Amino acid sequence: MTSAARGASDHRGGEGTARPYTSADMRDASRPDVIIRPATPDDAVAISRIRADAWRTVYRRIVPDEILDAIDVERWADRMRPTLATPGSDRVHLVAQDQDADVVGFVLAGKERSGDPDHEGEVELIYVTPSLHRRGIGRILMRETAREMRAQGMRSMLLWTLRDNPRSRAFYERLGGRALREEYREWIRAYEVAYGWPDIAALIEG
Ligand SMILES: CC(C)(COP(=O)(O)OP(=O)(O)OC[C@H]1O[C@@H](n2cnc3c(N)ncnc32)[C@H](O)[C@@H]1OP(=O)(O)O)[C@@H](O)C(=O)NCCC(=O)NCCS
């Protein structure tokens, strides 16, 4: 185990979140291994940059240009830092980092926010560096999130994604998510669709 992995295990305890993955876990064996570790406030800029890169590429033509062109990474980072500084017992904040210690993906999750009676947890944000899509990093992040949620006593979860983003929908459907309902989001002027996992064991074992 690397020192980064060991430090992360010490930090979170429980089932442990610092899980070094070998190349065999990745789709492309030539890709660097990734380590999943808890996110810290120092990751806020890297996380916000990955999210901005994804919005500017994947969300183009789904979300209006004026919204994408106004993205301010530093402002996103400033808003995210307090959240990362106070993880809380019912939060999951993870990053995937490569062997150069560069953050290449992240997930923020917690309790379901709208009072949905059938789903206890919610993945609020999950993003992978666009140049590393389809290398298995998203699947690893979802699995580790489900493990953490289960360690916190949650058994089910949902998430929202852009309705007109076929790539993320294919990802969630591949991982066994079921489309639940749609809602319009005024702030991005787009529809989102919810995907649910009534039993997160499917994500852990699948
Ligand atoms: C959605 C996202 C997190 C997926 O992460 P990823 O690392 O690219 O996904 P994985 O490589 O783990 O994909 C696992 C499986 O999902 C399916 N999948 C993933 N991306 C897909 C795509 N673009 N098209 C079709 N299927 C896809 C595939 O079955 C894939 O397995 P395979 O590559 O062996 O066929 C990532 O693409 C991303 O950050 N997208 C932009 C931001 C976004 O939409 N985030 C969701 C916000 S709610």
pLDDT in tens, 137-153: 999 999 999 999 999 99
Residues in CB range of 51: below 8 A, 6 or more apart:
76, 125, 127
Which backbone phi and psi does 130 adopt, to 5 degrees? -50, -35
Residues 135, 138, 143, CA angle at the centre, nearest 5°?
A: 120
Q: Are the C-beta atoms of residues 119 and 155 closer than 8 Å to each other? A: no
Which backbone phi and psi does 122 adopt, to 5 degrees? -145, 130
Beta strands, E only, 15-152: 19-20, 35-38, 92-97, 103-111, 121-128
- Identify the pLDDT of residue 5: 38
State what percent of residues in the chain have pLDDT above 70. 84
pTM of the model: 0.88
Query: Is any atom of ligand 1 closer than 6 Å to the C-beta of 107?
Result: no
- Identify the pLDDT of residue 33: 83
CATH topology of domain 3-205: Aminopeptidase (3.40.630)
- Identify the pLDDT of residue 191: 97
Q: Are the C-beta atoms of residues 45 and 53 closer than 8 Å to each other? A: no
Taking CA atoms only, the protein residue closest to ligand 1 atom 27 is 171
Residues 40, 161, 78, CA angle at the centre, nearest 5°?
A: 30
Q: What is the number of the ligand 1 atom nearest to the C-alpha of 105?
A: 39
**149-198 pLDDT per residue, tens:** 999 999 999 999 999 999 999 999 999 999 999 999 999 999 999 999 99
Q: Which uninterrupted H or E stretch holds 162? A: strand 157-162
Taking CA atoms only, the protein residue closest to ligand 1 atom 20 is 171
Kindly list the domain boundaries of the chain, sorted by start residue. Answer: 3-205
The residue to mutate among 134, 183, 191, having the most atoms of ligand 1 within 8 angstroms of its beta carbon, is 134
